[in-house]
Copies of this chain bind each other. A is one copy, B any other.
Amino acid sequence: MARAGLTADRLTQAGAELADEVGFDNVTLSALARLFDVKVASLYSHVTNSHDLKTRIALLALQELADRAADAVAGRAGKDALVALGNVYRDYAREHPGRYAAMHFRLDRETAIASAGVRHSAMTRAILRGYDLAEPDQTHAVRLLGSVFHGFATLELEGGFGNSSPDSQESWTRTLDALDALLRAWPAPD
């Protein structure tokens, strides 16, 4: 009986790939066991349970995306940085829909705080340095950008925009234009 050589990391990685193929909700320990040609119970030596596996996939995705984002915004500022960051989010969601969904798996507070999730808001805040926003407006803008990026990616993925004209790429470009214009002329409260 040769061993399969499983580790938590290999399971997480395989789980992430599986998520992209069949959807995050359909990532099961059973499916992973089949993949590695191993009995299900054996996986419990590596992850504590199904929830643990999903948490690990979520953390993987958060980190992967944070890395990409950091890379994309490095050396850019203003609209250039905004577009780069937005594209990283949208492209990741399209290339890795399962991992993207995994990122919104509910983490307990400690795990969330220790996760790469914090880097995401930090980076969004960073690109706002190219615009002239003082607190608390900066925080409002961070939340708005997060909402648009996440909302657009989600709706586009689930086909909420239809597949008719104008195509969603066009809408995305114009959305980024609009956000840039908005941030340059951020309105005072009414």
Contacts and interface: CB of A to CB of B under 8 A. Distances in A.
Interface residues of A, number: 40
Contacts of A173: 189
Contacts of A161: 143
Contact of A152 (B143, B159, B168): B143
Contacts of A171: 139-140, 143-144
Given A136-B166, A136-B170, A143-B171, 4 more contacts: A104-B154, A140-B171, A143-B155, A144-B148
A140 B185 contact: no
Contacts of A152: 143-144, 147, 151
A106 to B, nearest CB: 6
Q: Which 6 A-B pairs have the closest CB atoms?
A: A151-B151, A147-B151, A147-B152, A181-B187, A150-B151, A140-B174
